[in-house]
Amino acid sequence: MQKKFKITVNGVEYDVTVEDMSEGTSYILPQPGDMKIPASPAAAPAPAPAAASDHGPNDLMSPLAGVISALPVTQGEEVTQGQEVAVIEAMKMKTTVVAHKTGKITDLAVKVKDAIDAGQRILTIE
């Protein structure tokens, strides 16, 4: 059903026609009670097998996606557990990444300004 209205916006009058979509079956959004949950859900597909791990216990993985904004260590440097080894910036927030163990950095997989995904290897400590 259509209804006509006169509205005023910033001092200017407009004649508008509005259609009431809640009556009949032409509405777009579901109404209360329209969404029915089946009594027994259909069998869900089996989850995909987990990908083989491509990192080892010496690899330090990124905890989040972002951009490497600082890398205060170098390859070959000795680090101690808990020492800051990288800073990742994501959504204007900086997250400090610390060494997960004491040892020597044998491989730096990233450099400053590199985009990095969550779970991507940052460096290796042996």
Q: What is the mean pLDDT of each run of 10 residues along the chain (126 residues)?
A: 84 84 57 60 56 75 95 95 95 93 95 94 95
Structural domain boundaries of the chain? 59-125
Which pLDDT score, from 0 to 100, does residue 52 have?
47
Which pLDDT score, from 0 to 100, does residue 18 have?
81
Bridge pairing between strands 66-70 and 115-116: antiparallel
In whole angstroms, how far apart are CA 25 and each of 4, 52, 80? 21, 51, 67
The CA distance from 70 to 81, in Å, is: 18
CATH 2.40.50.100 fits 59-125, yes or no: yes
Give me the residue label for tokens 């260590």.
Answer: 73
The CA distance from 97 to 114, in Å, is: 15
Amino acid at 111: K
Which pLDDT score, from 0 to 100, does residue 16 have?
87
